[in-house]
Amino acid sequence: MTVFKIPFLALGLVMALCSAALADDGSETEEAETGTFTFVLENDLFFGRDRDYTNGIMLAWMSEPDYAPLWALKTARLLPFFPEDGKVRSSYAIGQNMYTPNDITDPNPPLDERPYAGWLYAAVGIVVETGEQQLDQFQLQFGVIGPASLAEQSQTFVHKVIGSEKPQGWDTQLKNEPGLVITYQRSWRALVSTEINGFSIDMTPHIGGALGNVYTYANAGATMRFGWNLPNDYGPPRIQPGLPGSGFFEQNDVFGLYFFAGLDARAVARNIFLDGNTFRDSRSVDKEPLVADAQVGVAVTIHDARLAFTHVFRSHEYKGQTGDDEFGAISLSVPF
């Protein structure tokens, strides 16, 4: 399928972006840190599927250290567990997620399958790194669920371009509803680490949660990395809910390569894409209160750019679900 060409196109983009840097003779002084632009694409077509969480796309920018709007800092300081010092970055993002039942050619999907739904959002947040070992991420997402999310138009257009079947059941999707969710994640980088014959191994645990009419949950998990010249990062970024990761990273050498594996477990109190609309009648299913993500992947860093591919396995999210969810995620982070 066309979608399988994406990793190679992205790798080519990274190589092009970094070629000038690799050609440097190393004589100039170290440049000041800059912001980081991140692109994330998650899609189940990587593994021949088209159901459940079927696509997510996000564009994000994170500022250089010690820069964040005053109002964002004051808001974050209201949290009793938020750090008082450290490197502060601000983050901004836009994204769209879409969810479908098992058979997108059925104009009236069974009532016991996940309903059609879309989520179009913007996000603003602050990120604080304390001692280059602890990362706190606080984010506010706001947007719209329902036809106004333009998920139907997006999926129809993409399927037409790649020659896939046209989705037929979007008339049954969730109704329009404003969405708001606050997320918080804390990660401890390389809390456990060692070296074996020149290879570095470390493990970064995390805890966090979300509160809002879109998602409400508590989560915890960890990511393990294994490779050469590991950058100072917290794993590649993911679209939430999922393992947190980070858009920015600090490279220790011109080239780095690592493999990673992670697990995130969530206790879910609210998931609008399963529970249905908050104040209006809509389709819904009985959600599972405990959901887990397991992931494996590989990340390549070249100077100050990072490309990663992640294979995600997600446990059943609702009762009667016919199989676990499975999708791939590509992320590309470059200075900007």
Higher pLDDT residue, 275 or 164?
A: 275
Most confident listed range (94-98, 123-127, 233-237): 94-98
Task: Specify the DSSP class assigned to residue 33.
Answer: P
Query: What's the number of domains the chain is made of?
Result: 1
Which pLDDT does position 155 carry in this prediction? Answer: 94
Q: Is residue 286 part of a domain?
A: yes
Residue 216 pLDDT greater than 80, yes or no: yes
Q: Looking at per-residue confidence, does 9 or 156 come out higher?
A: 156
Using the predicted structure, report yes or no on whether residue 100 has a pLDDT greater than 70.
yes
Does residue 199 lie within any of the structural domains? Answer: yes
Cβ proximity of 74 and 101 under 8 Å: no
Cα(117)–Cα(285) distance, integer angstroms = 13
Q: What is the pLDDT of residues 68-98, one digit of tens each?
A: 777 777 777 777 777 878 888 899 999 999 9
Residue 24 lies in a domain: no
pLDDT given for residue 21 in this prediction: 38
21, part of any domain: no
Q: Which residue in this structure is represented by tokens 């994406």?
A: 6
CB atoms within 10 A of CB 166: 10
pLDDT of residue 32: 57
pLDDT tens string 259-306: 999 999 999 999 999 999 999 999 999 999 999 999 999 999 998 899
Could you identify the residue written with the tokens 């979300």? 210
Give the residue-averaged pLDDT of 314-332: 93
| Residue 184 domain flag | yes
pLDDT at position 47 is 80
Look up the pTM and report it.
0.87
- Domain assignment of residue 111, given as a range: 2-9+35-335
Domain presence at residue 27: no
Q: How far is CA 84 from CA 10, 79, 204, 230, 249, in A?
A: 38, 10, 22, 28, 22
| Helix or strand (DSSP H, E) at 200 | strand 199-212
Rg over alpha carbons for the chain, rounded to the nearest Å, is 20
Determine the average pLDDT of the residues in 188-215.
94
Beta strands in 46-116 (DSSP E): 52-62, 87-100
Asked if the structure places residue 165 within a domain, the reply is yes
Reported as a single tens digit per residue, the pLDDT across 173-187 is: 999 999 999 999 999
| Residue 67, in any domain of the structure | yes
**pLDDT, tens digit, for every residue of 1-34?**
333 333 333 334 433 334 333 333 343 334 557 8
Percent of the chain clearing pLDDT 90 (strictly above): 67
Q: What's the mean pLDDT when you consider all of the chain? A: 87
What CATH number corresponds to the domain at position 268? 2.40.128.140
